[in-house]
Amino acid sequence: MSNEEIQKITRRLHNRMGRAIKDFQLLEDQDRVLVCLSGGKDSYTLLKLLMELQSRAPVKFELVAFHLDQKQPGYPAGTMESYLQDLGIAWEICEEDTYSVVQEKLAPDATPCSLCSRLRRGLIYKHAEAHGCNKIALGHHRDDSIETLLMNMFHTGQMQGMPAKYTTDDGRFEVIRPLIYVAEHEIIQYADHAGFPIIPCNLCGSIEGQRKFMKNLLDDLEGRIPHVRHSLLASMQNVRTTHLLDPSLLASDAEPALPSAGCGNELF
The candidate with the shortest Cα–Cα distance to 142, out of 43, 268, 206, 230, is: 230
Does the residue 257 lie in any domain?
A: no
- How many structural domains is the chain composed of? 1
Given a contact cutoff of 8 angstroms between Cβ atoms, the answer to whether 142 and 229 are in contact is yes
Does the residue 266 lie in any domain?
A: no
Given a contact cutoff of 8 angstroms between Cβ atoms, the answer to whether 174 and 165 are in contact is yes
Provide the pLDDT for residue 106.
72
| Burial (CB count <10 Å: 0-12, 13-18, 19+), residue 253 | exposed
Query: Please, which residues bridge with residue 62 across strands?
Result: 32
How far apart, in whole angstroms, are the C-alpha atoms of residue 71 and residue 69?
6
Provide the pLDDT for residue 10.
97
The candidate with the shortest Cα–Cα distance to 265, out of 152, 98, 105, 172, is: 152
The candidate with the shortest Cα–Cα distance to 67, out of 41, 100, 91, 31, is: 91
Does the residue 178 lie in any domain?
A: yes
Of the pLDDT bands very low, low, confident and very high (cuts 50, 70, 90), residue 249 is confident
pLDDT in tens, 77-131: 999 999 999 899 999 999 998 888 877 877 776 666 777 788 899 999 999 999 9
Does the residue 106 lie in any domain?
A: yes
Question: What percent of the chain is predicted at pLDDT more than 70?
Answer: 88
Residue 24 belongs to domain spanning:
3-244
Does the residue 117 lie in any domain?
A: yes
Does the residue 265 lie in any domain?
A: no
Q: Measuring CA to CA, how many Å separate 100 from each of 72, 106, 203?
A: 8, 10, 11
Q: Check which CATH number belongs to the domain holding 59 and give it.
A: 3.40.50.620
Does the residue 77 lie in any domain?
A: yes
Does the residue 264 lie in any domain?
A: no
Provide the pLDDT for residue 198.
96
